[in-house]
């Protein structure tokens, strides 16, 4: 039998080569991606483009139908490459989880939201583990990619997959490799972002790294699944804490009558020891507003209080309220009240030039304005409708953005700085602009109408 040296980066051992390694090398291994959303679809495409037969597993029949027609359902992913991969037979999708029995490698990319009590919601991971458990067979590789607290792979997923009597590290391989997607980022994508990988055992790490190395540019091995899980949280908590810092500085600058954006620009000229972060109306997206709570929850289990992280969360959570307060003050300066004011919100997505509204501060701000009696409309070129929920009492539809329409509002709030909007035209037509993104920085005419918030 062929023997190989299993190298984890943290020691090595001499052992027979795992049979799956050869199947991965020759692209004969069949790959399954569980959860075909913002993370799963580009990951599935990366492996299909690397020559693997990839099957997407998802409970959402709509996604499966789109893929069967060769269509993308995510704005920043074009349909042409999806169509090419599905036509070649290398990419397919199904709602039938029984297909997992015939797959060699299963990559789990399901959501990890928070409960209403702001605690980790493991529902999607546990339901996926339960659905896959009956199909676990010897020789398979399972990798969890969902962002979660340290210990999830070992304490939550592993027991579910071992229900049939097979053992991780002995009968099947188990690893954790956090997703690092950044929708809309033109510089980095799934294939070029370095991939952290932690294995249940050194052999698990070896097999998982071998798989990712076939489709992605770089892999970064770590000593355990727990290290990989915490590394992902650290990445986003780093951003959360630094954004909280500039958000707090922004509020101080407003009282000092200083432009925080100018301050940040000046500080950014330092060629070492400084990294610019920018304020905003609050945190959005699936990661940064949520990930800190995963770690603080786990820390409480160990009787440790992450005061610094929790303080950052408090600052960022208060930003929508601050925006509403600044809007109220700006209206008062024009002898108008928030109650009864007609307001137009620009941007419902959480981030510039994406169509994702998950945890978007815009939704919270709209609901807060409505609760205080304002009549609110929104315009977002990428988000045509907003469903009821998330504080919204009814479904909303994006309104047309024309000079005539803008003139009919008492104020315009810039909450997402989509690049497709003519902000000079907005400022010219508006009676008042509350800018939370510095989108109007280049506008020279009508500066007296602009309030930074």
d(CA 209, CA 202): 10
Please compute the mean of the pLDDT values over residues 116-144 and round it to a whole number.
95
- Tell me if 278 is assigned to some domain: yes
Q: Which of 370, 362, 364, 365 is nearest to 339 (CA)?
A: 370
Q: For residue 390, what pLDDT is reported? A: 76
Residues 248 and 130 in one domain: no
Structure tokens at 30: 């069949």
Judge if 199 and 301 occupy the same domain: no
Structure tokens at 418: 């989509």
The answer on 391 and 260 residing in a single domain is yes
What is the SS3 assignment for 76? Answer: coil
pLDDT at 206: 97
CA-based Rg of the chain, rounded to a whole angstrom? 24
pLDDT of 395 = 95
Same domain, 204 and 317: no
The answer as to whether 198 is a domain residue is yes
| pLDDT at residue 6, as a whole number | 46
Query: What was the pLDDT predicted at 304?
Result: 95
Q: Does residue 42 fall inside a structural domain?
A: yes
Count of domains forming the chain = 2
CATH code: domain of residue 441: 3.40.50.720
Looking at the structure, do residues 423 and 380 belong to the same domain, yes or no? yes
Cα distance between residue 154 and residue 354, in whole Å: 34
Q: ∠123-127-129 over CA atoms, to 5°?
A: 120
* In contact, 418 and 402? CB cutoff 8 Å: no
| pLDDT, tens only, 36-66 | 999 999 999 999 999 999 999 999 999 999 9
Report pLDDT for 8: 44
What's the token pair of residue 414?
A: 């810039």
Clarify whether residues 187 and 273 are in a common domain.
no
Last residue of a domain, one of 190, 223, 256: 223
Q: What are 247-293's pLDDT values in tens digits?
A: 999 999 999 999 999 999 999 999 999 999 999 999 887 778 888 88
Predicted confidence at residue 3, as pLDDT, reads 47
Q: Which of 109, 204, 253, 287 is catalytic?
A: 287
Domain containing 17: what range? 3-223
H helix runs in 257-306, sequence order: 260-267, 291-301
d(C-alpha 250, C-alpha 261), whole Å: 8
Say whether both 381 and 260 belong to one domain: yes
pLDDT at 2 over 60: no
Regarding whether 265 and 190 lie in a shared domain, the answer is: no
Q: Cα 128–80–382 angle (5° rounding)? A: 75
Domain check: are 134 and 282 in the same one?
no
**What pLDDT, in 10s, does the model give residues 370-401?**
999 999 999 999 999 999 887 788 899 999 99
Dihedral class, residue 211 (left if φ above 0, else alpha if ψ from -120 to 50, else beta)? alpha
User: In whole angstroms, what is the distance from residue 38 CA to residue 290 CA?
Assistant: 16
Q: Which range among 18-22, 102-106, 155-159, 180-184 shows the weakest confidence by mean pLDDT?
A: 180-184
Does the active-site annotation cover 204? no
Q: What percent of the chain has pLDDT above 90?
A: 85
- Least confident stretch, 97-106, 115-124, 167-176, 356-365: 115-124
Output b/e per residue, 352-370; b: 16+ Cβ within 10 A: ebbbbbbbbbbbbbbbbbb
pLDDT band for 337, please (50, 70, 90 cuts): very high
Helix (H) or strand (E) holding 246: helix 225-256
Residue 11 has pLDDT above 80, yes or no: no
Structural domain contains residue 272: yes
Does the reported pTM lie above 0.75? yes
Q: Are residues 196 and 269 in the same domain?
A: no
Last residue of a domain, one of 193, 223, 253: 223
What would the DSSP string read from start to end of 397-437? EPPP--HHHHHTSSEEEE-S--TTS-HHHHHHH-S-EEESS
How far apart are alpha carbons 366 and 303 in whole angstroms? 37
Answer yes or no: is 87 within a domain.
Answer: yes
Looking at the structure, tell me whether residues 58 and 139 fall in a common domain: yes
pLDDT digits (tens, 9 = 90+) for 65-119: 999 999 999 988 999 999 999 999 999 999 999 999 999 999 999 999 988 888 8
pLDDT over threshold 90, residue 185? no
Tell me which residue of 181, 188, 174, 110 sits closest to 148, measured CA to CA.
110
Residue pLDDT, tens place only, 296-310? 999 999 999 999 999
**Residue 413 pLDDT more than 90?**
yes
pLDDT tens profile 313-333: 999 999 999 999 999 999 999
Domain assignment present for 234: no
Instruction: Tell me if 228 is assigned to some domain.
Output: no
Same domain, 291 and 390: yes
Check residue 12 and give its pLDDT: 46
Residue 116 pLDDT: 82
Give percent of the chain above pLDDT 70: 97
Q: Which whole number is the average pLDDT over 23-27?
A: 97
In a domain, 92, yes or no: yes
Computed over every residue of the chain, the mean pLDDT equals: 93
**Distance between CA atoms of residues 145 and 33, nearest Å:** 10
* Residue whose C-alpha is closest to residue 202's, from 5, 433, 436: 5
Q: What does the pLDDT read at residue 15?
A: 62
């Amino acid at each position: 039998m062929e023997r190989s040296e299993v190298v984890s980066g943290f020691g090595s051992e001499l052992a027979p080569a795992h049979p799956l390694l050869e199947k991965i090398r020759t692209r004969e291994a069949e790959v399954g991606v569980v959860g075909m959303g913002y993370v799963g679809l580009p990951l599935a495409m990366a492996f299909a483009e690397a020559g693997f037969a990839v099957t997407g597993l998802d409970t959402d029949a709509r996604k499966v139908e789109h893929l069967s027609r060769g269509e993308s359902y995510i704005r920043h992913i074009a349909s042409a490459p999806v169509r090419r991969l599905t036509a070649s037979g290398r990419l397919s999708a199904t709602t039938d989880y029984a297909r997992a029995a015939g797959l060699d490698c299963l990559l789990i990319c399901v959501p990890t939201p928070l409960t209403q009590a702001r605690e980790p919601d493991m529902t999607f991971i546990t339901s996926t583990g339960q659905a896959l458990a009956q199909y676990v067979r010897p020789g398979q590789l399972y990798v969890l990619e969902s962002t979660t607290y340290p210990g999830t792979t070992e304490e939550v997923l592993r027991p579910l997959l071992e229900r049939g009597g097979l053992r991780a590290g002995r009968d099947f391989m188990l690893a954790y490799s956090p997703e690092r997607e950044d929708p809309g980022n033109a510089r980095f994508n799934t294939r070029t972002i370095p991939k952290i990988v932690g294995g249940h055992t050194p052999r698990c790490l070896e097999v998982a790294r071998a798989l990712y190395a076939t489709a992605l540019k770089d892999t970064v091995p770590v000593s355990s699944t727990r290290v990989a899980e915490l590394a992902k949280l650290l990445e986003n908590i780093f951003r959360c804490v630094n954004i909280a810092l500039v958000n707090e500085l922004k509020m101080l600058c407003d009282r000092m009558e200083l432009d925080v954006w100018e301050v940040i620009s000046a500080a950014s000229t330092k060629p070492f020891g400084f990294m610019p972060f920018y304020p905003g109306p609050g945190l959005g997206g699936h990661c940064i507003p949520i990930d800190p709570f995963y770690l603080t929850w786990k820390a409480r289990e160990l009787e440790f209080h992450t005061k610094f992280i929790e303080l950052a969360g408090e600052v960022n959570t208060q930003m929508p309220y601050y925006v509403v307060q600044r809007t109220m003050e700006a209206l008062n300066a024009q002898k108008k009240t928030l109650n009864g004011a007609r307001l137009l919100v620009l941007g419902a997505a959480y981030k510039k030039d994406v169509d994702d509204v998950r945890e978007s501060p815009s939704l919270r701000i709209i609901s807060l304005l409505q609760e205080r009696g304002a009549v609110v409309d929104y315009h977002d070129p990428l988000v045509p409708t907003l469903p009821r929920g998330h504080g919204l009492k009814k479904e909303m539809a994006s309104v047309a953005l024309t000079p005539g329409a803008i003139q009919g509002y008492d104020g315009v709030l810039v909450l997402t700085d989509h690049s497709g909007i003519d902000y000079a035209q907005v400022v010219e037509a508006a009676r008042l602009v509350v800018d939370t993104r510095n989108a109007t920085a280049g506008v020279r005419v009508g500066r007296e109408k602009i309030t930074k918030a």
